[in-house]
Homo-oligomer: A and B are copies of this chain.
Amino acid sequence: MGTSTEASLSRVERRKARTNKRLLEVARQLFSEKGIYWAKVEDITELADLGKGTFYKYFDSKEQIISALVEEGLSELLAKTEAAVLAVSTDGRIIPNVIGARVDFFLAYPDYLLLLHQVRGLMQLQVGVAEELRVIYAKHLSRIAKLVKPVIGSTSAHDVAVAIAAYTSGLMTYHLLFEGIEGIRRRRNELVLALDQSVQALLKAGRPRA
């Protein structure tokens, strides 16, 4: 008994966990609103109602909180996706469910849409943080690839995973720009359907990978 993660921690430890979480939430919001560059560490601590120095008790640097957010976000996204796959009735539902889970994740946490978009750009640069982020992202895609493996024919599972991720994020980001998050939310089913068809088309196509 009493071995739940939360309960087993001392009051102090629970407090720390809460502060850590608040910093992550606030950072996610600000990175999405102002961009990872324009959002200042002080903006974060201020919105979190903490002293500026406190930030560095929880994260080594601004770069590191970005990594932490990406890790947390992709991990949560993966969890939701895996749950959606487990809930599947027939293999044919795997891909639409994966896509649905992704879309729903970004509808639930729209900040991640822009944060991850920025991070995908960052990853490609010849810049310090990039390498670590690349590893995190690659791992995520591998896991997605594994999930869809059962339903793809000769197509590369990795290519399909990439297509799912790329199409979903691409489409949602564009629509976010022109219609806002509410616009996307209203068209949720339509988007999932369209994305599913787009991805299915790839599979039928035989082998996008020669």
Q: Which residues of A contact B (CB under 8 A)?
A: 33-35, 37-38, 114, 117-118, 120-127, 134, 137-138, 162-163, 165-167, 169-171, 173-178, 187, 190-191, 193-194, 197-202, 204-205, 208-210
Contact = CB atoms under 8 A, between A and B. Distances in A.
A12 B127 CA distance: 36
Copies in the complex: 4
A198 B197 CA distance: 7
Nearest to A193: B205
Consensus secondary structure, chain A interface: helix
Q: Among A33, A138, A163, find the residue whose CB has the most chain B CB atoms closer than 10 A.
A: A163
Contacts of A200: 201
A134 B191 CA distance: 22
